[in-house]
Amino acid sequence: MDKNYILYIIPIVVLIINRTPYIGKYVRVVNTLIHESGHAIAALISRGEVYSVELFSDTSGTAITKTKGKLSQFIVSIAGYPFGSIVAYFMFYLVSIENYKLIFYIITCFAVLNLMFYVRNTFGIFWLISFTILVFAVYFYGGEFMQYAVSAGLSGVILFEAFYSSIELVIIAYKKPKSAGDATNLQYITGIPAILWALLFVAQSAYFIYLSIMLFFIP
């Protein structure tokens, strides 16, 4: 299969998924899972604690953590958006070398570990269980093309949703800077306006989209 084919199909698929009632939000929660996992991992790396992770049906989420010192708080606050983009880029790299199965392992690990240790809200538990079952079904019963399509589709959802959500964050930071989530936290820590942090998130997510596209153009 021509690798460049994915450059045309994935943006269209992601756009359709995002506009599909119920299904769109359900699938987009995978980006929330990766985003909040980024905060949790950053907290653990900076010797903090993770109390809980929550996933919601509107695709929002929270990671309740405890850290010591402004540097640790900064690392945790800034981690979510870049982590999502990095994971998506790595998944697209795996697609480019046709290692689809490892993508299923990665997604499953995120889901199962969060289910075991952190996620306790009702929708979050339901989503993790049902999503893991769907991933297993594709892995064990789907053919190579189905595995390719699903792994590439999930990679695209995470990559582009990181970009879309950061644009939404810019709008929120402009209108209500005290309600801009990670950008607001970074403003409190550094004194730099929330909208600048939101713009930084947009820039980094766009850069990883560029890098992901280049995977399929550079031999």
Q: What does each of the 219 residues of the chain score in pLDDT, given as a tens digit?
A: 455 565 567 777 777 777 778 888 999 999 999 999 999 999 999 999 999 999 999 999 999 999 988 999 999 999 999 999 999 999 999 988 889 889 999 999 999 999 999 999 999 999 999 999 999 999 998 888 888 888 888 999 999 999 999 999 999 999 999 999 999 999 999 999 999 999 999 999 999 999 998 887 666
Residue type, 134: L
CA 172 to chain centre: 19
Q: Which residues are CB-contacts of 188 (< 8 A; sequence separation ≥ 6)? A: none
Burial environment of residue 65 by CB neighbours within 10 A (0 to 12, 13 to 18, 19 or more): buried
Task: Record the tokens describing residue 29, joined without a space.
Answer: 């929660």
How much is the pTM? 0.92
Q: What are the angstrom distances between the C-alpha of 88 and each of 67, 156, 203? A: 27, 7, 15
Could you give the CA distance from residue 64 to residue 33 in angstroms, rounded to a whole number?
A: 14
Closest of 181, 187, 188 to residue 166, by C-alpha: 181
Which neighbouring-strand residues pair with 55?
Answer: 61
